[in-house]
Amino acid sequence: MRLCERLRLPATQAAVLLHALQSGDTARRAIVLSPKAAGKNYQPPFPCESRERYSWLPENVFLPGEGVNPAQHADYAAGMYYVLDLSSCWEGAALSAVSSVPERSLDLCAAPGGKTMLLAARFPLKDHIANEVQARRRGILRENLLRCGVENTQVTGLRPDQWAGQGKEFDLLLVDAPCSGQSLLCKGIPNPGCLGSAAVNGNAKRQRGIMLQAVRCVRPGGYILYTTCTYDPEENERVIAYLLRRTSSWQAEEIPLLAAFRSDLCHFPAYRLLPHHGCGAGGFCCLLRRLL
């Protein structure tokens, strides 16, 4: 398969990826405790797996046991936790390399709210904006944050170029970029055309445009966490390489907790998760820091 060749996977790993794409059974549920549960010694009302092999997980993320659907419990409706794929928590582990608590933060592509929840699990939200351009998704985002008791957060709907044009500077931007979503297949979610060059190249162009606007919104010393839920290097390593070629004031940061997942498809620190790692459907992350 073309994707396996682009990822330079050995035969055994390529076979695992192909099986995961076809079987759709690689998703791993995780829950992140909400601000409602924080500081209350809250424990999930169902059995959870050991987190011993997941050294990158923060303390307030739990792994429901086999057969448990956490969204069916009353505590979910009460907003005690947020449900997401374990691979999203893996991406959020990149926040461990942010050197100080962000005073002002912006989740640029925030719906349905998972990355904002993971940020709140690491840092107290002081002045946070959860932004989503699409009105329908913005409603879902607002509902999730309200249910989970996320405070000090404003929900907005501006485009990246509109944010860049305002002249505001943030300490941290989260860019969970729109992508071809190839990992959806590994969750059993149909996604026709996601492996084709048209979808990949079209999304890569959009991602480059978003990032060129995002870098205009960060103060010197601030960060951008770039993440996707897709595998193709064109939407991941090559987007970051494009950005680094266009500006000398940014560098990719090492993420010690994710050292075992460092990508060998680029010369800078970037990290990718694939189904053979056993940590969910997969994803990509790169933490960028503005130097000047």
DSSP 80-141: SEEEEEHHHHHHHGGGGG--S--SSEEETT-TTSHHHHHHHHHS--SSEEEE-SSHHHHHHH
Domain coordinates in residue numbering, the chain: 2-290
Q: What is the pLDDT of residue 292?
A: 79
Q: Which two tokens stand for residue 152?
A: 């000090």
pTM for this predicted structure: 0.97
Give CA separation, 224 vs 13, 47, 215, in Å. 30, 35, 8
Q: Which amino acid is at 245?
A: R
CB 215 within 8 A of CB 252: no
Q: What is the pLDDT of residue 39?
A: 73
Burial 158-187 (b: 16+ CB within 10 A, else e): bebeebbeeeeebbbbbbbbbbbbbbbbbb
Q: In what order do the strands lie in the sheet with 81-85?
A: 61-62, 29-33, 81-85
Distance CA 89, CA 87 (A): 5
Please list the pLDDT of the chain residue by residue as tens digits (292 residues): 789 999 999 999 999 999 999 999 999 999 999 999 987 789 999 999 998 889 999 989 999 998 999 999 999 999 999 999 999 999 999 999 999 999 999 999 999 999 999 999 999 999 999 999 999 999 999 999 999 999 999 999 999 999 999 988 999 999 999 999 999 999 999 999 999 999 999 999 999 999 999 999 999 999 999 999 999 999 999 999 999 999 989 999 999 999 999 999 999 999 999 999 999 999 999 999 999 7
* Residues forming the active site: 229
Report domain 2-290's class.
Answer: alpha beta
Confirm if 285 and 97 have CB atoms less than 8 A apart.
no
Given a contact cutoff of 8 angstroms between Cβ atoms, the answer to whether 150 and 202 are in contact is: no
